[in-house]
Every structure is written in structure tokens, then in C-alpha cells.
Amino acid sequence: MAEVSSGDGWYALVADDDDDFRALVCVALRRAGFQVCEARDGEELVERYAALRILTSQHLVVVSDIAMPGRGGVAATAALRNASSEVPILLVTGETSPSVLDAARAAGANHVLSKPCDGPTVVEAVRVMCS
């Protein structure tokens, strides 16, 4: 893939049950040129990902919290990996125990960021994954 300096041509799907953090990430990604779709939990993430794969020809990238009600980020990542081995997936978490990080990587996350983190940090991680 070509290096990504802006989000042009990329659609970011952002899932987090924390409205403030989700909004922060979405604003940062939009400012970086990404189109953005939001989800409040892992179930909604998987549903919207399936719809976006049909509705858009743009490249997709996923940013998701790990700890969400219902289907969490690790379970959603595993479901997305079953649908596509290609989609870059960034998981963010306030829980940094080795078991959580191992589960995230085993499910197929390309990268894991620890919270708290800011919008530019998320954008940079997404750019690296998309390159």
C-alpha cells in the first residue's frame, strides 16, 4: 500500500462506548481527511463494517475500544477478521495487563494503544497501519 499522509480514500469506523473519547477520535480523523462512521459498541461495529464493505469502495480501517458493553472490541475484532484479513484494526484500552494485550493480538488487532491517548496519537497509529 502507498504511504498515507492524509485519510483521503480511507473510511474509518470508530467504536467506543465513551461518547467523549469517540468524538475526540472522530474529529481528529476527520481533520486528517478520513471519512468516519461511528459505533457505540462491538455489535454495532460489526454491523456497520458489513454495511460499509458493501456500500463503499474506499479502504476501511477500524479503531475500537476493547472494553464496551455487550460485544467488546476483542470479540468484534475476531468477527471482523473472519470477514476480512485485510482491514487494519487499532484497539485502544485503559487495561494494559498482558492477558488483555495478548487477547487483542490473538483476535487479530494490528496495533493496541493505551488510554489515555489523544487524537493526534490515534491518527498517527492509523496512518502507520494504513501504509
Splitting the chain (131 residues) into consecutive groups of 10 residues, what average pLDDT does each group show?
Answer: 56 96 97 95 95 87 95 95 90 91 94 94 95 85
The structural domains of the chain, with segments of one domain joined by +, span 10-130
Q: Classify 10-130 by CATH class.
A: alpha beta
Using an 8 Å Cβ cutoff, are 17 and 39 in contact?
no
Q: What single-letter DSSP state applies at residue 118? A: -
Using an 8 Å Cβ cutoff, are 97 and 123 in contact?
no
pLDDT at 6: 54
SS3 assignment, position 11: strand
pLDDT at 1: 37
Beta strands 89-93 and 10-15 are unpaired
pLDDT at 126: 96
